[in-house]
Amino acid sequence: MMSRKRVKNLKWDKLDNTANLFPVIAHEGMSNVYRISVVLKEEIVGDLLKQAVEKVLPYFDIFKCTIKKGFFWFYFEENNAKLPAIKEEDTYPCMFINQHSNNNYLFKVSYYKKRINLEVFHALTDGNGALNFLREITYAYIRLAHPELMEQVSDTLAPETSLDKEDSYVQNYKSKQKKTYKTTKAVVVKGEKLPMNQFAVIHGIMPVADIKQAAKKYGMTINSYIVSAYTYAIYKSYLHGAPSAKPITIAVPVNLRPYFNSDTNKNFFVVVSSQFLPEKEEEYTFEEIATIVKKSLEEQINKENLEKLFSYNVSNEKNLMLRSVPLFIKKLAMKYVYMASAKANTSTVTNLGMIKTSEPYSAYIDRFQAILSMSHGQNIKITVFSYNEDMVLTFSANIRDNDIQKTFFRKLSEDGIKVSIETNGVYYE
Amino acid sequence: MKCPLCNGVLEGADSDKSESLTYPDISTSLRKMQFIIRIVVFLAIIAFVTVVIVNYATFSGVYWSLLVGAELCYGCFVLIYIFHERRSLQRMIIGQMLAAAVVLLLTDFLVGWQGWSLSIALPITFLGVDVTAFVLMVVAIDGWQSYIMTEIGTFLLNSILLALVGTHDWSRFSMIMNLVSTGITFVILLGTIMLGGKMISNELYRRFRV
């Protein structure tokens, strides 16, 4: 007797509040895909990496899915297709992921020399959620590459890995908040664009201790120091120290998990902005800029303000009248709001913090790094990742001119930070 | 070898070549398909301008050049929408159906509006798409329930056509064609809902949840 193939009900899930935006605005020129990578101390073997991903993926529902379009909302549905090919890196980072040519998956895994890359469409999760997944892939890969480790560790997920899929925005929002996103136009860094999809990457690798000391010298956190130095670099090299009617506004995503006791793998962050308006004719010093930036960020990064920021968006999502609007109209409205608020930021600095890995895996891992793709009105961005004693600060840009990066790293060197540089070669072309 | 920031010469470099040691060498190459599309659109524009000139010079009451233009647009649309940007099978089918509907209506209008597009061509087009979706449902198995949206769409379009034909003085043949087409799409839709069970009800809930 032939056995019948049982077609089971597919699991599904709603998109979180932030995720609803990305399928609306993502396209070839603006992928909304970010990359996080781990650099090991040995060359990657493609077959083992494929096995590692196949082993880990079934545990992570938020990655084992595809996006579907409903009449009112997008939603996720379980994806049982086989994994797309895991191959050596052969394109620029953060390219648009067309799910129909990726077996309906919204992430990609590739490798090059000693590096494993995980590229994720932002609707799935943010950096913290993606890091969970990448860390488990790395652990599984290391176990496969070094079978002798099985005497020390079990072949399962690490205890520190979270599989929580809670929509923490909905769990923690307070209803009826006023509009919080800015629409005041900021300085836009313009320049000769690189050909479409060509992407310039510069990694600056520096000791955490050095940058900590430099930040302490100015009486600020590492994050504030980086944002200040970046603002300073834009002011000096792009504005040439001249006054401007528009501010230099740096968007800083803030991970909400520590504030609201969440362990979710879905998106859970809000964006605050530091604003520096160069009003006076006389050139500002770095110290003056740093004071303004520090005050701007400190005023915004507190639980009450962060709650207000996402509660407005969640309230809109819960509003029955707005919910009843068909998706094709919602898309137009969301695009309009996005375009209006996109030019309110000059650039973005996203700091994924200090990553910890467990033994015995740490001995095989050199560092982590991340790359952000471009968005409307932002032609240059920074991502920061720290691991052990090193911090990797990555510039990603789609413009040819690299004066801002040069000024930024020179400032860091002046403050006693020893930086070594790696690039993807685009600035050599 | 030079510094990527200041273009200064690097001391102690192993190689004379300036290239990345940690990223693959990706040279920008022209995407063939984009080039082919540009050639086709260019030729379509040339062809359209040519027929407009010929139509003008030999005008005898029929704007046949607009018809040619509509067909050229349809061809370009199929090329760009279907082949260039990868989309799901359903979207490709629906996209082609809607584009074909526009071309059929325009053709009927340009040759003197006899109504054959509403009474014959469109019902057959919608019915054809519905049957295609049904076959794909049977064959696809995995994800078959997602074709319910195509079935709902074609049933609604047929219903609108039937209402249009029913409220005007169309021929008996037109009424029968529309009734048959609407009836068949209704039966397919009803059958899918009644026999689809929990999977269809889940699919409808996910698609239409507010």
Under 8 Å CB-to-CB from B29, ≥6 apart: which residues? none
Q: Which of A71, A90, A323 sits opposite B24 (nearest CB)?
A: A90
List A residues 83-112 in contact with B (Cβ-Cβ < 8 A): 88-92, 98, 100-101, 112
Which string of DSSP letters, residue by residue, matches A145-176? Answer: H-GGGGGTS-SS--TT-------HHHHH--SS
Report, as an integer, the average pLDDT of A274-296.
Answer: 95
B22/A424 touch (CB, cutoff 8 Å), yes or no: yes
**Structure confidence at residue A169 (pLDDT):** 94
**Structure confidence at residue A2 (pLDDT):** 44
Q: Where are the beta strands (DSSP E) in A182-287?
A: 200-207, 248-255, 269-276
Q: What confidence tier does B20 reach under pLDDT thresholds 50, 70, 90?
A: low
Of 3.30.420.40, 3.30.559.10, 1.10.10.10, 2.170.190.11, the CATH number of A12-153 is 3.30.559.10
**Structure confidence at residue A102 (pLDDT):** 93
pLDDT at residue B116 greater than cutoff 90: no
Which of A94, A102, A96 has the alpha carbon at shortest distance from A118?
A94
pLDDT at residue B93 greater than cutoff 90: no
Q: Which of A70, A89, A428 sits opposite B18 (nearest CB)?
A: A428
Q: Taken in order A390, A122, A202, A275, is the CA torsion positive or negative?
A: negative
Query: What are the residue ranges spanned by the domains of chain B?
Result: 1-87, 89-210
Q: What are the Cα distances from residue A129, in Å, to A96, A161, A164?
A: 20, 10, 10
pLDDT at residue A4 greater than cutoff 60: no
Report, as an integer, the average pLDDT of A293-298.
Answer: 94
| A70-108: burial string, b at 16+ Cβ within 10 Å, e else | bebbbbbbebeeebbebeebeebbbbebebeebebbbbb
Q: Would the CATH topology of A12-153 be identical to that of A182-428?
A: yes
Report, as an integer, the average pLDDT of A250-257.
Answer: 95
Give the global pTM. 0.88
A100/B209 touch (CB, cutoff 8 Å), yes or no: no
Residue B18: list chain A partners with CB under 8 A. Answer: 425, 428
pLDDT at residue B4 greater than cutoff 80: no
Under 8 Å CB-to-CB from B187, ≥6 apart: which residues? none
B87/A9 touch (CB, cutoff 8 Å), yes or no: no
Our CA-based measurement puts residue A423 at a distance from the nearest CA of chain B, in whole angstroms, of 6
Interface probe for A, chosen from B80, B93, B207 (most Cβ of A below 10 Å), is: B207
Q: What is the mean pLDDT of chain B?
A: 84
Query: What are the residue ranges spanned by the domains of chain A?
Result: 12-153, 182-428
Size of interface A-B (CB pairs under 8 A): 86
Residue B198: list chain A partners with CB under 8 A. Answer: 9
Interface probe for B, chosen from A7, A15, A403 (most Cβ of B below 10 Å), is: A7
Residue with the larger pLDDT of the pair B1 and B153? B153
Residue B22: list chain A partners with CB under 8 A. Answer: 112-113, 115, 203, 422, 424
B206/A75 touch (CB, cutoff 8 Å), yes or no: yes
Q: What is the mean pLDDT of chain A?
A: 92
Does domain A182-428 bear CATH number 3.30.2270.10?
no
A428/B19 touch (CB, cutoff 8 Å), yes or no: yes
